[in-house]
Structure 1
């Protein structure tokens, strides 16, 4: 299978990447690998966050695909579309009413802002997202890389040193330390770490 440019999921059989793309794509790849080798050890990850994905590979490919829910949880970097509950809010605009807890002085300040509390809070959140964009990208990249490496490379040479290089934002040392790892593990770890080192993906 040819990997997608920005795959949502990735599947490994031991040290080898056997598929990437949609959840259905990697499910097919995993089932095919098990058909070839019944003792294959298939691990599926969210390609952006490295969160493990539990798939039931019992039965045929059609059986496996039938058990996949039609809507899957998006990656952390994707915008989440929330189905709004009935009640307050403006669902047609994507505005969802939820409860927040603030001190009286916060409510007093919000009440004085142009547009009211909701508008002020949305502006504050947008500004915080803009200001912290790079820091958030680094943190999420570090977390995703660490999560993947801890599962797939915890017993590899220089693992601990590579983790230290990751969190020290030292890409050259990181790349050098993982260079001897199996190619698919090394390449996926390096791709995940691009955000941690502030490189554009």
Structure 2
């Protein structure tokens, strides 16, 4: 996935101006930089702020998005498959066990990691949703009434009190933050209909 494929949400002040793949949202984002409102772009999955170079035309900005990924150096591994070689430090008995596995150490390690990923998927997704919602809330609504209560309710899993705490926020901010928090309710208190 390149930076151009990153799914974002973008705000000009309190207004949601773009949502979706960054390359598709670039015209709205580029135009909003001159609107006078504070322009903020977030990674929709993590809630982290995305720093963009908006100099020049929309096409210049898009080229920089895709050019950064193309210029990335490739190390050892199988780049077409997304495989990169990295160092793993294990005890000698671990290496012995891995060497005895069918397919060798790499296959055995991949199977172990895939199994752990599947097992942790639900709790990790819930935690990630809460963290993304928290980052968005802090940046977009950290000075708004109900912020502290919303934060407590987000992490305690009380969706009813969370909804009440964010009720007075501007509609676009409330909608994006609530949507980001949705994955956290599924493994928390459980929002009906999720």
TM-score by length of 2: 0.81
Structure with the higher fraction of residues in helix conformation? 2
**Deviates most, 139-148 or 107-116:** 107-116
Q: Is the 8 A contact 1:26 1:44 kept in 2?
A: no
Gaps of 5+ in 1: 1-6, 74-81
Q: What is the deviation of 1:34?
A: 3.9
Instruction: Give deviations 1:106-144, integer Å, cap 9, x for gaps.
Output: 223223333322221111101100110001101111111
Give the secondary structure class of the aligned counterpart of 2:109.
helix
Give the secondary structure class of the aligned counterpart of 2:42.
strand
The size of the alignment, in residue pairs, is 183
Q: What is the deviation of 1:20?
A: 1.5
**Deviates most, 116-125 or 146-155:** 116-125
Q: Which residue of 2 aligns with 1:69?
A: 65
Identify the structure with bigger relative contact order (alpha carbons < 8 Å, sequence gap 6+).
Answer: 2
Supply the distance in 1 between the matched residues of 2:82 and 2:24 (Cα, whole angstroms): 30
User: Would the alpha carbon gap of residues 124 and 64 (structure 1) be closer, same or farther in structure 2, given more than 3 Å must change?
Assistant: closer
Instruction: Give deviations 1:171-190, integer Å, cap 9, x for gaps.
Output: 22211211111000000001
User: Would the alpha carbon gap of residues 106 and 23 (structure 1) be closer, same or farther in structure 2, given more than 3 Å must change?
Assistant: same
Q: Which residue of 1 aligns with 2:75?
A: 85
Q: How does 1:3-14 map to 2 (within 5 A)?
A: 8-14=7-13
Q: CA RMSD in A?
A: 2.8
Q: Which residue of 2 aligns with 1:24?
A: 23
Aligned partner of 1:107 among 72, 95, 100? 95
User: Which stretches of structure 1, 4 residues or longer, exceed 3 Å deviation after superposition?
Assistant: 56-66, 89-96
